[in-house]
Chain A
Amino acid sequence: MGLNAALTVPTTAQRPRDNGHALVGSRCGQCGAVSFPARAVCHRCGTPAPAEHTFATTGVLLTYTTVHVPRPGLPAPYTLGQVALDDTGPTVFGQVRMNGAEPAAGMAVRVRIGADGETPRYWFEPDRFAG
């Protein structure tokens, strides 16, 4: 497939970022590299138009921090984390809502998708069903 396939991919606004319960991005059919959100050309091998891909709803919290400096619409403290989504999904940043519990590196988390128009669009919570 020639690079010109990247000319006709959906616009960024047309590409879904979630399906209501999971994050959606792209996965390269050539090399398997994943990206959230989807891209027009694979960042690893340069193949155009990587396929739309729905990622696992579960992942591992690699690291986190509690931020004590508020931002508009975001009272402090709040917790941010870096999560590696399961099934060789992408590594993404997001808020971690612990609902009073203490976060820990290596803990299983589950992605939550907000309602339409909600900010942020997604966040993570402890995965209560994890073994």
Chain B
Amino acid sequence: MTSDDIEVIGVGMHPFGRFTGHSLKDLNRVACVSALVDAGLGVQDVDAVYAANAMAGLLQGQEMIRGQSVMREIGIERIPVTNVENACASGSTALRQAVLAIRAGSADVVLVAGVEKMFVEDRGRTLAALESAGDLDVVSGIGLQFTAVYGMRLRRLVAAGRLTVDDLVAVSVKSHANGALNPYAQHRKIVSPEEVLGSRPIADPLTLLMCSSICDGAAAVVLARRGVIPSAGRPTVRVRASQAATGYTTTGNEPSLTETCATAAYAEAGLGPEDVDVAEVHDAMAPAELIAYEHLGFCGPGGAGALLGSGATQIDGSRPVNPSGGLSSRGHAVGATGLAQVAELTWQLRGEATGRQTHQPRIGLAHNNGGWLEGESAVSCVHLLERTDPWD
């Protein structure tokens, strides 16, 4: 059996943003019920659940049985619920576990759910929780915030002439423009280059409007073995590749973790970067999208600025990237992000992405990284999805 035997039969989201009155259960309920309704299933059709969350232990005190506690709210009991934490890549890691469970023959229909509630009364607690995405034994006390890691990475590329500050600004403008078209997005306001550059400095060269922000939200995906659930007469989306990898101690001369993971995903699917029609990539800071262009093989070294400038990665371009607005504009509700990417790609591949629909995509790529070790992400997951039906 290969991963080709697995279909995405339902997706759903709770909008990303600030939802002060909504609990983890409320957020999770809306995403999961939406995904099950989308699949035409009831809660008792589910064989197993993989539940992704990164921060509820520190922020809500629900350190254990996070998935079980939110699932009982929607009547899911008895079946196995497995909790998955892999920092910002928790959602995609859970998806991969669901793929493996179906491939292993232990389940036919699996619900994959990601939920995060980052807005709490004290923002300092959220920042501290985010810092725990590093190896605290090594970096504790240094003040190494997520934004700083990206700021350093981008400065190095700008200094080497591989990116310009104008590129960082332009991709942030694109992110906000796409987010403005997405009803699920946290940031839905078009911004100008001047506004991006003039916004508050966060960790130079990054400014406020280049960065993702604290976010609440949830996303869910229903996977099924092919043939178990009859198609509802709409285009079928299947999983072509599901890969995960862990970061490594780098000397700076190895291929990046994303590159390593993407290469494995392309090999699994028998596809190459040239086959990707639409991508959702990990841009916790909007300019990280440019780094992903290179690492995913969409351009050669130093080619990201030119690729962006060509318009190819715009919604109406030849290879749109982050039509949802990406992490920085759709929002980055940490444990839900990887599944929000898959929801977006599924809508894109089915032709259901309304005002942000890309042109008849067949192959979608989801790239979701998490945490950091010194100089590299701690986790990378790359999934490839395919629309099997022809476009009319």
Contact = CB atoms under 8 A, between A and B. Distances in A.
A65 B374 contact: no
A37 B141 CA distance: 15
B389 interface: no
Interface string B233-255: 00000000000000011111000
Interface in A46-92: 62-69, 71-72, 74, 78, 80-82, 84, 90-92
A16 interface: no
Task: Label chain B's interface by main secondary structure.
Answer: mixed
A46 B179 CA distance: 45
Contacts of A95: 142-143
Interface stretch (B17-25, B52-60, B112-120, B150-158): B150-158
B346 to A, nearest CB: 35
Nearest to A120: B141
A105 interface: yes
Contact of A69 (B128, B202, B249): B202
Contact of B375 (A81, A82, A120): A82
A43 B249 contact: yes
A82 B152 contact: yes
A119 interface: yes
Contacts of B249: 33, 35, 43-44, 90
Contact of B141 (A33, A64, A121): A121
A69 B203 contact: yes
B136 interface: no
Nearest to B139: A93
A18 to B, nearest CB: 13
Contacts of A36: 138
8 contacts: A36-B138, A63-B155, A65-B206, A71-B145, A80-B148, A90-B249, A91-B374, A120-B142
8 nearest interchain CB pairs?
A: A65-B151, A63-B156, A119-B141, A63-B152, A120-B141, A65-B203, A74-B143, A105-B159
